Amino acid sequence: MRFYMDKPVKSIKLKNNYWQTARGQRIILLVILCGALVLLLANLGNQYLWQDEAQTALISKTILTEGVPRGYDGKNFFSQEGGAEYGENYIWRWHTWLPFYVLAGFYKLFGVSTFVSRLPFVLFGFGTIVMAYLLAKELWGDGCVPLISAGLLTLCVPFLLLCRQCRYYSMVMFFTMLSLYAYAAFLQRKKYAVLMIFAASTLLFHSQHIYVATFFATVLLHSIIFHRDRLKVLLAVMFVTLLVNGPWLIWQAKMNYPSLLLEPQLWFVPFLIIKKLSTYLIRYVFPPWLLPVVLVAELIRRFRTGTFTPMTLRLWEKVALPAFFVVFNIISIALTANDSYDRYVAPSIGLLVILIAVIINAAADAHVLVAVAATIVLLATGYLKEYIYEIAHDYNGPSEGISRYLNEHGRPDDIVAVTYGEMPLKFYTKMRVTGGLTGENLEPARNARWVIIRRFTVFSRDAYVKDYLLKNIDLGGYRSIKIDYPDIPFENRENLGEHLFRTRTGVRNVVIYERMD
């Protein structure tokens, strides 16, 4: 089966089509990228930042005044781990700093807003689509696979949701693609490929360091199996990259971050994480029914030509590169993370989409109707209709309602005590906000003018805050105000399983307590 070609693909049914000429491909790619901009940018500033996004935005704002990312701005704390994320002088060390500096630069140029907070990450998402095209082209030539890859990724809802987050996700997706593209160019002995691997992997490291380990494991295994002649040079590049970036890793390792590997009674958790992340990718990105499509396409080819297409070493080499990364991505997260958030496998989404494009192309090579049917089913089951509804309509969440009310009725010197959702309030208001996940001293909450006890608790830390507020604040001295916004756990979430495509209705509204002076 023709999963790859070293020269332009000439599909049985489509070989004379204009879209396979160089000019035709450029036009189609331009159409895909214009569509991507619409899907990525539409209604970008409508939904308020949720907890994690607001944390990134708040930390980035400190760079404008302090020069470095800090977890405290003189009024509010930005920790979600009880203060574990920062060290002396509140210097941030939980995440690498590149996303903060990129966002701070956008704030400097365009001002602070919800739209601007997400804009740089959307642009990296757009760049990821371009890189998916280029990586597929580097591996499979100038045929259909690069265009299918770019087109399917543009319509991939899990990918779009992650790109529209004020968080590092789109950056690691982009630099993963760029790093793998550099490695593919390196195998072709292209000029500057070695320098490109160093630069791309360094930028990947400073977007979120764990993914550079995934990249190195991927290319190392791939080189050992398929290109041992390039192994020494590759090892030298990896060594230089680690040498340059190692000091940062040593400094960051001083953070007090618990590891499951140090708790023998929790050694089963990595297996649960592997299961959960694999299930997410299978359910939302690479459905298992795609594999029988390969069999159907090959049976059709067998019926038409009387022969099977051999599975060559070159085919395995091309497929193995993205496949290895997906496997190592899941394993590395399972060994280092204490939870299994779907966003942790964000860099694997684009690579799985490329593999899907390979399958669709192979199906088209056997019979175009098989490829069309598979594509239709893929898109029809991919939440695209819901996503289009979301970007075309208004969305209201609890953080928006609370922030709007406080800004309208409160003063900058007011104290707000809240059980969860404190980060958006710190971003959208100028008030002193206490409670939530920061782990700070809750004594100021006793003098809070505003008290917000959310209906749901998310972690043990906000459950503790809720218990403290109920025990130490006499709500009899407050008047309750019910606002027309739903009291749901999050403003909205980035992962498809919990994401809301429209305003939640039929639930209890948010209640704000105002002290009666």
User: Does 189 share its domain with 240?
Assistant: yes
Q: Are residues 291 and 249 in the same domain?
A: yes
In a domain, 206, yes or no: yes
Same-domain pairing of 345 and 424:
no
* Domain contains 9: no
Which H or E run contains 180? helix 169-187
pLDDT value for 4: 36
Write down the pLDDT at residue 223: 95
- What is residue 50's DSSP assignment? -
Domain boundary, last residue among 365, 391, 417? 391
| 426 plus 295 within the same structural domain | no
- Secondary structure letter of residue 508 according to DSSP: P
Which candidate, 453, 465, 406, 400, places its Cα nearest to that of 430?
A: 406
Residue 485: phi and psi, rounded to 5, are -135, 140
Q: Is residue 53 part of a domain?
A: no
Q: What range does the domain containing 231 cover? A: 18-45+116-391
State the pLDDT at residue 268.
64
Would you state the pLDDT for residue 7?
41
Q: Quick one: pLDDT at residue 494? A: 93
Task: Write down the pLDDT at residue 9.
Answer: 41
388 to 157, 160, 161: CA distances (angstroms): 10, 11, 12
Q: What is the dihedral of CA 369, 370, 371, 372, to 10 degrees?
A: 50
| Domain's final residue, options 369, 391, 413 | 391
Query: CB neighbours of 250 closer than 8 A, spacing ≥ 6?
Result: none
Q: What is the pLDDT of residue 249?
A: 82
**11 falls within a domain:** no
Question: Are the C-beta atoms of 13 and 362 separated by less than 8 Å?
Answer: no
Examine the domain organization and report whether 420 and 404 are in the same domain: yes
Do residues 382 and 156 lie in contact, with contact meaning Cβ atoms separated by under 8 Å?
A: yes
| Inside any domain, residue 91 | no
Q: Which residues of 122-159 are buried (b: 16+ CB within 10 A; e: fewer)?
A: bbbbbbbbbbbbbbbbbbbbbbbbbbbbbbbbbbbbbb
Examine the domain organization and report whether 168 and 219 are in the same domain: yes
End-to-end CA distance of the chain, in Å? 77
Q: Are residues 492 and 510 in the same domain?
A: yes
Whether residue 4 is contained in a domain is answered as: no
Cα–Cα distances (Å) from 302 to 4, 117, 309, 315, 362, in that order, read 18, 53, 8, 19, 13
The number of domains in the chain is 2
**Last residue of some domain: 347, 368, 391?**
391
Same domain, 279 and 368: yes
Quick one: 325 and 444 in the same domain? no
The residues of the chain scoring below 50 in pLDDT are: 1-16
Q: Is residue 92 part of a domain?
A: no
What is the reported pLDDT for 499?
95
The DSSP element (H or E) to which 123 belongs, if any, is helix 114-140
| Contact predicate 400/485, CB 8 Å | yes
Residues 278 and 414 in one domain: no
User: Quick check: is 202 in a domain?
Assistant: yes
Is there a single domain that holds both residue 379 and residue 405? no
Residues 364 and 382 in one domain: yes
CA-CA distance, 272 to 294, in Å (whole number)?
30
